[in-house]
Structure 1
Amino acid sequence: MKKEKLLAVLRLQATNNVGDILAKKLIATVGDVEQIFKERPATLQKINGIGSLITTNLFDKKNQILAEEELAYIEKNNTQYSYFLEDKYPSNLSQCIDAPILLFNDGNVALSDKVISIVGTRNISSYGRDFCNNLVADLAEYNPIIVSGFAYGIDICAHKAAIKNNLQTIAVLAHGFDQVYPKTHKKYIHQINEKGGFLTEFWHNENPLRENFLKRNRIVAGISKATIIIESANKGGSLVTADIANSYNRDVFSVPGRTTDVYSKGCNNLIKNNQAHLLTSAEDIVKMLNWDISTKTAAPKQETLFIELDETEQKIYDYLQENGKQLLDVIALNCHLPTYKLASILVQMELKGIVKPLPGKMFEV
């Protein structure tokens, strides 16, 4: 990415009251992130959801200064990053409407199609520790990537188990790369960087604030094919991660425990309420995610359709064919189309019998 574009992305990130969903809407509507700051405020205010407060914040000179400072840090430290519209951005995460527009990474992160997240209580028991260690060891032959949040308890246990079994592991942080939290985990940084690495959406000097951990959880859930909960009380960050994973239509697995154990109540409730698959062994994951099929029969390639599609319709069709059912806004972002225009095209494709609308503004081939 050229310097000017990265600066515009950082400037957008620094803008108060502009989250990732609104930022993507601005980019999709205007056409390019740099163009946002070349438009007149009156023009931007015509976009649904953009008012005078947002435009005032967008052109606040403080944001320009902050963005320039962060850009200088990135260039000085050769910080690696991926933009949500680039191919190197994690593909699973790109399907999530609220995924960060910019993601920083450190280490040797190389994502594959077998990515799972393992999360749970910080108050890990011997039962939880043994289950986590055994699960990762039993999954090792399938070479999955183990994602977690670098916290106490289940998180660090999952990272260590991955390292022990020579698997790639990725720690998603709730702060910038200039911080280490918890500080006692500093000793694991080198090992994780060698066997995977770190991801964060936060700028280098961002502290581990309470709200950052909740934001971090959506990356943990979104980057993975499945999320595994090992031990959780009735409330906690791991249950939030499970909720987010469910909202992304990802598989969620939960390890059952005794009804009298405080840190099994959350897991048991997930299973009882049909919010998670019952997980008793690695075999449950292997079967549910089809890892036991060593050589999948390639789906027959459809060379031609009886109904002719124009270039834009073909692009939408190909995207849905590859990624399955998707939200309207996600299709718009990945096909680089304004939402209003995409909605019209999808109606025409529906009439042709090419796509099918689903509840919640979702579509599939």
Structure 2
Amino acid sequence: MKEKEYILWINLLQTITVKNYYDLYDYFDNMESLYQCSEDQLSACPVLDDKNIEEIKSSKCNLLLEQHLDTLKNKNIEYITIQDEQYPPILKNIHLPPPIIYYRGKISNSIFDNCISIVGSRNASYYGLKSSEKIALDLASKNITIVSGLARGIDSMAHVGALKAKGKTIAILGNGIDIIYPKENKYLYKQITEIGLIMSEFPPGTKPINYNFPRRNRIVSGLSLGTVIIEAACKSGSLITAKYALEQGREVYALPGNVNNTNSKGTNLLIKEGAKIITSCNDILEDIFPMFSASDRKKEVTDLTNLTNEEIQILKLIKMGYWDSDKLHQKLNLPIKSINYLLTTLEIKNKIVIYKGNYFVK
């Protein structure tokens, strides 16, 4: 088996948390070593308790991985691990990123470039629904990928807006990717798989229980440069997503709502606490994407003539979400002085722009 399959195996075990996975990886260096362990070696591992050890032994006896791989094949479900090149770079930067992502649709590095998430109430007003659709449509038409949770209300209309613009959209599920929830989004689910992505860290068959949605929300914000909140009650999943976005160092935007609407109280509270007010997609574009001119925000092809190979490498990484010199240094394994020199030459050549301490391709 490949290491990719061993990572899939360990994440199938119900007693192993995401934190356990990273602790185990630090201890064993790879998941194959864990799989091949004897019972004595498992008992000696400080990360594992008796329940973990019993489940590991049982999973190998019951051929859990083999059965799961058959299920994925039969249901046409793909998956990537955090070690794969296709794994979204921006998601690797969050606390405890999902080791496994199941998906349906078209995966590519470009779909993870410049993502904005839009979330809000399931019981949204007409104003909220139309605002979500309009903002998503306008952003998607500028080649921004719209991320949301495929829930009723604001989430659904965000996906609809992106699809109307013939743009890119990603739906993150709080259940197995083979379960469409809510059921009325069956057609929307199908549309997204045709031009975008459906993603979930939960194995197929996982039910949409409340405990799963906060975990889903950290991925929604984690994929995005900024999160837009449209209509949210004071205690809601949307505010949890906003909290994750702040913890991940991402921007939080809020659309002002009717002060008499319960579903606007959380949104208006975010504004009072410092979230940025937006009234249109331009407020987001001007704040996060200064490389877009006011007259033409369409994606342009960067001229690579007269650039060194190292400069081209840096440009490609910046497009993938490696926005600061430290991350570029870690990825390229070049001295930080060399990274800073290359960034300076790219600025002089007018290929990149620095904004809020981060670098963007012009």
- The TM tier, using the shorter chain, reads 0.7 to 0.9
The DSSP-based 3-state class of the residue aligned with 1:88 is coil
Say whether residues 1:62 and 2:53 are aligned partners.
no
Q: CA deviation at 1:335?
A: 9.8
AA of the residue aligned to 1:83: T
CA contact (8 A) 1:133 1:158 kept: yes
Once the two structures are superposed, the pairs formed by residues 1-365 of structure 1 within 5 Å of their partners are 3-40=1-38, 50-53=47-50, 55-57=52-54, 59-62=56-59, 65-110=63-108, 111-274=111-274, 276-290=275-289, 291-292=291-292, 322-324=322-324
Paired residues, what number?
A: 320
Distance (Å, rounded) in 1 between the aligned partners of 2:66 and 2:51: 20
- Over 3 Å counting, the alpha-carbon distance change for 1:209 and 1:26 in structure 2 is same
AA of the residue aligned to 2:10: L
Compute the RMSD of aligned alpha carbons.
Answer: 3.5
The DSSP-based 3-state class of the residue aligned with 1:11 is helix
The DSSP-based 3-state class of the residue aligned with 2:211 is helix
Q: CA deviation at 1:40?
A: 4.7
- Over 3 Å counting, the alpha-carbon distance change for 1:325 and 1:118 in structure 2 is farther
Distance (Å, rounded) in 1 between the aligned partners of 2:235 and 2:139: 28
Q: CA deviation at 1:166?
A: 0.9
TM-score (norm 1): 0.77
Distance (Å, rounded) in 2 between the aligned partners of 1:82 and 1:285: 30
Distance (Å, rounded) in 1 between the aligned partners of 2:164 and 2:217: 24
Q: CA deviation at 1:46?
A: 6.4
CA contact (8 A) 1:44 1:55 kept: no
Q: Give identity over the alignment, percent.
A: 31
Q: Deviations over 1:164-190 (max 9, x none)?
A: 111111111122233111111112222
- Over 3 Å counting, the alpha-carbon distance change for 1:8 and 1:195 in structure 2 is same
Q: Any unmatched runs of 5+ in structure 1?
A: 304-317, 337-348, 356-363
The DSSP-based 3-state class of the residue aligned with 2:271 is helix
- Over 3 Å counting, the alpha-carbon distance change for 1:95 and 1:57 in structure 2 is farther
CA contact (8 A) 1:44 1:50 kept: no
CA contact (8 A) 1:15 1:57 kept: no
Which range moves more in the overlay, 282-291 or 263-272?
A: 282-291
The DSSP-based 3-state class of the residue aligned with 2:233 is coil
- Over 3 Å counting, the alpha-carbon distance change for 1:325 and 1:212 in structure 2 is farther
Distance (Å, rounded) in 1 between the aligned partners of 2:119 and 2:323: 26
Distance (Å, rounded) in 1 between the aligned partners of 2:323 and 2:39: 36
